[in-house]
Amino acid sequence: MCKEQNHNLEVTDVSDLRKWERAILAENDPRYDPDDDSSDEEAILQRKLRAERKAAQAAAEAEARAAADPKLKGKK
């Protein structure tokens, strides 16, 4: 049980350090891209989620524009 608790603590510590590092680098380096570390599974997951949200938002905006424009009704 102690080994598992220590492991979980270490995993949490590393995750917190990554978040801290990204925040500091984003503040101080305008060219910093948190997605550059392709070996970081957490960053890969976050990139995927952002891309999915962006695509869903773009689809919703396109649908709203089509609904507002009578010329586009019935076309997709």
First to last CA, the chain: 57
pTM of the model: 0.43
Do 40 and 17 belong together in one domain? no
Q: How many domains does the chain have?
A: 2
Give whole-number Cα distances, 41 to 7, 36, 37, 73, in Å.
18, 12, 9, 42
| Domain extent for 20 | 1-32
Do 41 and 26 belong together in one domain? no
Do 60 and 45 belong together in one domain? yes
**Which has the higher per-residue pLDDT, 9 or 36?**
9
Average of per-residue pLDDT across 14-37:
79
Do 43 and 18 belong together in one domain? no
Q: So what's the pLDDT on residue 56?
A: 95
Do 26 and 55 belong together in one domain? no
Q: What dihedral do alpha carbons 7, 12, 18, 22 form, nearest 10°?
A: 180
> Shortest CA distance to 46 belongs to which of 24, 15, 17?
15
Tell me what the pLDDT averaged over the chain comes to: 82
31-57 pLDDT tens trace: 877 666 556 677 778 778 888 999 999
